[in-house]
Chains A and B, each alone.
Chain A
Amino acid sequence: MKLSSLIDPRNVLVGESFTSLDEASARVLKYAEGHYRDSVPYADALAAIRSRAALGATVLPGGVAIPHARLQDYGDLLILPVVPKGGIPPESGGERIKLAWVVLLGAGSSGLYLKCLAAFARIAGDIELTGALSAVTTGQELVAVLERSGLEVEKEAHVEDVMSSPAVTVGTGATIKELLDLMATKSLRYVPVLDESGRLVGEIGVLDVIDAAIPDYARRMGSLKFLDELEPMEDFLRRESTMKVASIMKKPAGVFAPGDSLVAVSVAMSKQRKRHFPVCDGEHVVGVVSSMDILFKVLRA
């Protein structure tokens, strides 16, 4: 989750001068109260900010201040950025405050707040970013700068975080014997198929191999419990050294990129009843994502 997503441009106070951090906090709280009508408890919030400030510095090196108010009955996390004109002289000497992040939070938002704090600290440590932020003239600009910086408070996992990489692949010219040996030795149920230039042209799973061994008429017969041997299936195995992967592979039924969402992969797996998908960066296969990856790295991480 990006920090910019948590900030409403209407709540940013830009271009006013303040003589103290306390004055800035009070002003921005009043400003926010105007937007949120009944849900910003101005008096309680200001009191909470003051009591927290009394406990010690809420200014990070780099001129970034983080006054905050933790309220019992407040159910939200409100970030109210202040970009003062000309900076604010700090309480106890030191550098002028170029940027203040006034935060209102409730009892339940601690986790997210700590991550926001970490992000604020990163901003303080980044002179260029702090400079860009303190030079904005509107709330929209501030949010835009933050968005461009890509600063995140939470990192969601993507396909690249759970896929198996590098991918084990076969070429179109490989024989079935080579494929089956590969699957058996490496315990693979699914292998992407590449052409000579390394591009993804097909995919093949154990089930596809089995499919290829079953003749059409057998498939249409309902239950085959009555026999123990079937000539075409034995014949298939006898031809494994001459048959090529290209003759039995399937066209890729869905491809993902490394940065793709795991939600999308899960939905695709469910809709298509498919347990493996190749992961491509452009034309090249960089990995395979499977339902087992989802099980071990997401559901039971």
Chain B
Amino acid sequence: MSFHLITALVVFAGVYVAITTELVNKTAAALLGAMLIVVAGVLDQNDAFRAVDWNVIFLLVGMMILTGVAKRTGLFQWLAIKAAKLARGEPAAILVLLSLVTALISAVLDNVTTVLIIVPIAILIAVELGTSPVPFVIALAMASNIGGTATLIGDPPNIMIGSAAGLGFGDFLANTAPAILVILAAFSLYATLVFRGRLKVTAERKARIMEFDERKAIEDPILLRRTLSVIALTVAGFMLHGAMGLEPATIALGGAALLLVVTRFHDVEGVLAELEWSTILFFFGLFIIVDGLVKVGVMSAVSSKLIGATEGHLALTTYVILWASGLLSALVDNIPFVATMIPLIQDLGASMGTKTVEPLWWALSLGACLGGNGTLIGASANVISAGLSAKSGHPVSFGEFTKYGALFTLISLVVASLYMAIRY
């Protein structure tokens, strides 16, 4: 085994361990790993920087800016309160409606930010109702993961897959979104059934919810109107980006910059400071490390093994990827997992034909995103939601989340398998 091969494997394993055990901050680990790859000569700096998928990075930056401005409009509070009042304070109905709102928002904006905004409101509503916030916290985290799977921009794995495979916004809408709609419907039923027992409240408590005045949640209607217009324009841009010959990052950054200018936003520094630089730098490091693995030939070795095992059978490979992604994503952070799988599938595409392997991308997307619901640590949105709940005095244990999450993940993977079987 060559020195380069050993270095690449050791760095990769080291970073994975760091992420899973949280012994070292994952961004720090990824950056160090990336630089070790360069220092060891596996890649030179030019190759390393070229390995970074800037389309992904700046699509993330653009969407983070849009979200940062959007959350200051009070729009999310308005939506949550409106949903709660529509349900007339009935907790089971609120749970389902808020989950649908969360799923919808996560399809456009990043999951973590979505839950960071919606979960505190949900906890408030639950506490005012005199019921435990835990079902809401769990359900909303899961809903954000499900919703994020529906579009190119909804979840980082999709952004990465789209960028690497040349799949656009419209492609995701046509392929993953239909499956997600069915899964969301299944989720609404599931949530109502499993959480039913815990959600009974008095008329007086429901009245407290009816007393919320959602109109007061919007402090700057002009900002809101302009923000909604620019977001609509950006989504339209995403739908047409292929036709316009533009990449998603251009649309996202363009939309973000337009929003800041059009609203003459007064706190640009504030919004920029809130960007998740840690996530962005983590991606940067990760891309380099994975490319290191590709460079030393690990990926092609694994993909040929995979083809050997499944004998080039597309359907079998698809299900293997769907379920393997689903189960592994429940335990491992889905972003490094997808980053590792991408070159693998690209390699398979080289041997089996790029158009032929398209279902494999959908399998990866559905598996990696839906698998995130499997356990508490399966997705950042889960960990963040549980953290928010704990800070409010209602901790969500690993066991409690996994109890509800694992079962539904299995259900959603089965639905996805059926979908893949029928569709492809």
Contacts and interface: CB of A to CB of B under 8 A. Distances in A.
Interface of A: 1-2, 4-6, 8-9, 39, 75-79, 109, 112, 261
A75 B202 contact: yes
B204 A112 contact: yes
A109 B204 CA distance: 9
B269 interface: no
A77 B210 contact: no
In the A-B complex, list the 6 residue pairs whose CB atoms are closest, starting with the nearest: A5-B210, A5-B207, A76-B202, A6-B207, A5-B211, A77-B203
A2 B203 contact: no
B88 interface: yes
A246 B202 CA distance: 54
A76 B204 CA distance: 7
A91 to B, nearest CB: 28
A259 to B, nearest CB: 9
Interface in B203-242: 203-204, 206-208, 210-211, 216
B202 A1 contact: no
Contacts of B208: 1, 5
A76 B207 CA distance: 12
Contacts of B202: 75-77
Contacts of B200: 39
A77 B206 CA distance: 11
Nearest to A74: B202
B146 to A, nearest CB: 30
Contacts of B216: 261
A77 B208 CA distance: 13
Q: Among the interface residues A1, A5, A6, which one has the most CB atoms of the partner chain B within 10 A?
A: A5
Contacts of B207: 1, 5-6
Nearest to A153: B207
Nearest to A9: B88
Given A1-B211, A2-B211, A8 B204 contact: no
A181 B207 CA distance: 50
Contacts of A112: 204
Interface residues of B, number: 11
Instruction: Name B's interface SS.
Output: helix
Nearest to B210: A5
Contact of B203 (A4, A8, A9): A8
Contacts of B88: 8-9
Contacts of A75: 202
A35 B258 CA distance: 50
Contact of B210 (A4, A39, A79, A261): A4
A77 B211 contact: no
A2 B203 CA distance: 13
Interface in B86-138: 88
Nearest to B202: A76
Contacts of A78: 203
A4 B202 CA distance: 15
Nearest to B205: A76
Contacts of A76: 202-204
18 contacts: A1-B207, A2-B210, A2-B211, A5-B206, A5-B207, A5-B210, A6-B204, A6-B207, A6-B210, A8-B203, A75-B202, A76-B202, A76-B204, A77-B202, A77-B203, A77-B204, A109-B204, A261-B216
A75 B201 CA distance: 9
B203 A79 contact: yes
Interface string B242-281: 0000000000000000000000000000000000000000
Q: Among the interface residues B88, B207, B211, which one has the most CB atoms of the partner chain A within 10 A?
A: B207
Contacts of B211: 1-2, 5
Nearest to A75: B202
Q: Among the interface residues B88, B206, B208, B210, which one has the most CB atoms of the partner chain A within 10 A?
A: B210
A6 B210 CA distance: 8
Contacts of B206: 5, 8
B202 to A, nearest CB: 4
Nearest to B201: A76
Given A1-B207, A8-B88, A77-B202, 9 more contacts: A2-B211, A5-B206, A5-B207, A5-B210, A6-B204, A8-B206, A39-B200, A76-B202, A76-B204
A112 B203 CA distance: 11
A261 B219 CA distance: 14
A182 B392 CA distance: 44
Nearest to A261: B216
Interface string B346-384: 000000000000000000000000000000000000000
A68 B305 CA distance: 77
